[in-house]
Amino acid sequence: MNELFAWDLPEDFADGCQTITYWRRGRPPGVTVAGAICRPVSPTRIDRRNGWAGADAVWHIPEGRLPGPARPGDVLQDATGRRWTVLVVSAAATGRLVLWTRDWAASFSAAQSADVEVAETTQGPDGEPVIHWRPYLTGVPIQFHSSQSQTPNAEGQTPTYRVLVVAELPSRTLRLKTSAGVLYWVDRVERPGLPGHPAVLYVHPITQDVS
């Protein structure tokens, strides 16, 4: 029997239950769900030895306590404040949902975060367009995955970076502001192939004050 699901007997749930907050993908606000059980998944692959330990967990949740079916891309927050993204959903014989989840913030090798800002354009006193930046998401987990070739633009030759971002992003003009205060233009967004996985952003640093 698969060790992840070998503990589906009711007596295995007598201890360790906690209350979580559950958000269905694209349908805020969240709901409070009692009686959830979490089982961490130990890293088994070589690529999880650096930065992946403790990033995956299997959650068992009473099936009738969610406002609709669970699906990949949903998010739950545990009693300690960690946020887990649902990747796979299955049902157990005990009437509980079994959710394979990942804490993307913990899975990234470097604990980095950024604010996502969107551009809003208004008219200036002479009718010229004026761009204002509005916060869209704050404290989003990110990881700079690789550096691409130098990219020519209005600011000169600047490096383009490939960045993983755990967020659903609008089809708008965007920029990133890292926790260190560095600004990056978002040149292109690749949507994730599977719900619950990071988007890929291609960005370059802003070398002049455009705020």
User: Do 3-107 and 112-205 agree at the fold level?
Assistant: yes
On whether the CB atoms of residues 74 and 87 are closer than 8 A, the answer is: no
**Cross-strand bridge partners of residue 77:** 21, 83
Highest CATH level, class, for 112-205: mainly beta
SS3 12: helix
CA distances from 176 to 43, 142, 161, 187 (A): 31, 10, 12, 11
Report the first-to-last Cα separation within the chain, whole angstroms: 57
Please, what is the average pLDDT of the chain?
80
Is 199 buried (19+), middle (13-18) or exposed (0-12) by CB count in 10 A?
A: middle
User: What is the reported pLDDT for 145?
Assistant: 77
What would the two tokens of residue 177 be? Answer: 């502001």
Residues 175 and 173: their CA atoms lie apart, in Å, by 7
Q: Which CATH architecture has domain 3-107?
A: Beta Barrel (2.40)
pTM of the model: 0.67
- Each domain of the chain, given as residue ranges in start order, spans 3-107, 112-205
CA distances from 1 to 12, 13, 76, 87, 103 (A): 16, 18, 27, 22, 26
On whether the CB atoms of residues 78 and 38 are closer than 8 A, the answer is: yes
Low-confidence ranges of the chain (pLDDT < 50): 1-14, 45-46, 48, 50-52
User: What is the reported pLDDT for 43?
Assistant: 60
